[in-house]
Structure 1
Amino acid sequence: MSTTANRPAIPVVRSWLFVPGNRPERFDKARASGADAVILDLEDAVPPADKYAAREHVVRWLKALRPDASVPVYVRINAASTEWFDADVAALAEWAPLSGLIVPKTEDAATLHRAAQSATPSLRLVPLIETAQAFAALEEIAAAPRVERLMFGTIDFQLDIGIEGDGDELLYFRSQLTLASRIAGIAAPVDGVTTTLDDAALIEASARRSRALGFRGKLCIHPRQIAPVHAAFAWRDDEMAWAARVVAAANASGGAAVALDGKMIDAPVIAKANEILASC
């Protein structure tokens, strides 16, 4: 298991916008929506009768996508327990413009090894944690090769475990995702969707809670959710000003102990300030 002190240099992705794989007319619109990343969905958004056609739509669109596309594109394939999993992987694993595969219902590292067998070296895997069994194997999943970060499928998880509510009811499980990600040395986790579309304040509050718990991104199901999610993950002006002052004071001290606003500035405080400035 990795004990890497720093996460890999992977850009922070605040908003991950789902678009149904059987709606190809929406693919370009999704990339132009302002989302930090787009997920072409072959799983929940696509009825069984449309699975094969959706996969063809996605592959055809990826063929025309430039490898240096500014908005990373991921595909949520069908779960390993379905008849479509292997064909999804075979069809998608070698496309350079594709940033990664979202692997739903991941419950063990073996599923990820299976998904990575024929993948191009640059293709990353993002396990979607949606069941109690997944949490039983969470450290193993997070430490598996090619794993970029973890995603929390909150709605499916609530159904699986019989929990009602998305707030304090899931606090324990969200904290486990943050901890497992840090131990494995992978990027910070991505939180599940908020089902409301028109209550921007509620969406932002939900994303702010995610950020407070160590998440650095959130799944979105509609473009209207992008702006409040970005607002939640943005540092406030006063936070950025504080970070600049901390770094300036630390630099001016030449490594000596220094105080700012009556508080000592030590290595963790400086690291937090640098994180804030680096994300601006």
Structure 2
Amino acid sequence: MHNCLLFVPGDRPERFARATASGADAVVIDLEDAVQPDAKSAARAHVAEWLAAGGKAIVRINAISTDWHEADLAILNSPGLLAVMLPMAEDPDSLSRFTSGLPDGLPVIALIETALGLWNLGDLVKVDGISRLGFGSIDFQLDTGVEDENQGLLFARSRIVVASAMAGLEPPLDGVTVNLDDETVLASDTARARRLGFGGKLCIHPGQVEGVKSGFMPSTEEIEQAQRIKAVAEEAGAKGAIRLDGRLIDAPVVARALRLLEGLE
């Protein structure tokens, strides 16, 4: 599972290979926010050329409602395209029409960035072709007027996580951290995302990659505890709930421990 995705502007082809070498689990070449309107066409050409030459990346196209969306669709048959990221996912019908026209098997990461998108989330996750959700927290704050990045966005983040689980999607991606100079802010944001059930986080600078990847890795203590839970569960066999360090260890606790260990393989 990809837990660290790094954005790179689509009109900066000299950065594509460098981003790929950053250690991120996947690179997202951006045709949307990072590219000015007069550079959209050139950026599209750069992305198509790079993918045709053997590059591999996710591409964030422009939203369905924009003037650039239709032209972006032409590159979605490119070799090396790992997934398409769609911003401003809001309307289930529009989203369904979009996914139905894609190449078979192309994963779609839908970004929830508005109040309407969050409101319609239960229907959006039912659309065939959606593989994962992402939280566009910056745009969501702009749309809703929520200033608090923590408690103020708790409902939105939790709803995205719960909707993903309900639909059987891959755990979602949390939004970017705009503070590039304070590593403690990135560490705090990453820890919060993991606690809330996100499976990864979007990055806007190569310097954030290591912090995000390490933040989503279980600690030594968590691994050791999971190994102990697995051992006592195997020893108990089918006897039902057991005790470990004064705590009840029942089937869901064992399942979580096994899932953590499986993620390390």
**Which range, TM-score by smaller chain?**
over 0.9
The answer for unaligned runs of 5 or more in structure 2 is: none
**Structure 1 residues 60 and 235: alpha-carbon distance in aligned structure 2, compared to 1, 3 A threshold:** same
More divergent stretch after superposition (39-48 vs 118-127)? 118-127
What SS does the corresponding residue of 2:130 show, helix, strand or coil?
coil
Q: 2: distance between equivalents of 1:82 and 1:193?
A: 23
Deviation per residue, 1:97-143 (Å, 9 max, x gap): 21211111111122322322332212011111111111111011111
Match of 1:59 among 48, 64, 67: 48
Q: Which residue of 1 aligns with 2:228?
A: 245
Q: Is 1:40 the equivalent of 2:24?
A: no
1:1-280 paired onto structure 2 within 5 Å? 11=1, 13-65=2-54, 73-89=57-73, 91-257=74-240, 258-280=242-264
Q: 2: distance between equivalents of 1:183 and 1:118?
A: 25
Q: Measure how far apart 1:96 and its partner are.
A: 4.2
Instruction: Report % sequence identity.
Output: 45
TM-score, scaled to structure 1:
0.90
What SS does the corresponding residue of 2:124 show, helix, strand or coil?
helix
What SS does the corresponding residue of 2:32 show, helix, strand or coil?
coil
Aligned residues, how many? 263
CA contact (8 A) 1:93 1:118 kept: no
Deviation per residue, 1:195-228 (Å, 9 max, x gap): 0112111101111001111111111000111111
Q: 1: distance between equivalents of 2:255 and 2:237?
A: 16
Q: 1: distance between equivalents of 2:41 and 2:227?
A: 52
The answer for unaligned runs of 5 or more in structure 1 is: 1-10
Q: 2: distance between equivalents of 1:262 and 1:167?
A: 33
Q: Which residue of 2 aligns with 1:3?
A: none
Q: 2: distance between equivalents of 1:204 and 1:246?
A: 28
What SS does the corresponding residue of 1:119 show, helix, strand or coil?
coil
Q: Measure how far apart 1:81 and its partner are.
A: 1.0
More divergent stretch after superposition (42-51 vs 257-266)? 257-266
Q: 2: distance between equivalents of 1:114 and 1:198?
A: 41
What SS does the corresponding residue of 1:121 show, helix, strand or coil?
coil
Deviation per residue, 1:241-266 (Å, 9 max, x gap): 00011111111222223322222321
Q: 2: distance between equivalents of 1:115 and 1:138?
A: 16
CA contact (8 A) 2:194 2:216 kept: yes
Q: Measure how far apart 1:45 and its partner are.
A: 0.3
CA contact (8 A) 1:101 1:124 kept: yes
Q: Which residue of 2 aligns with 1:7?
A: none
CA contact (8 A) 1:22 1:46 kept: yes
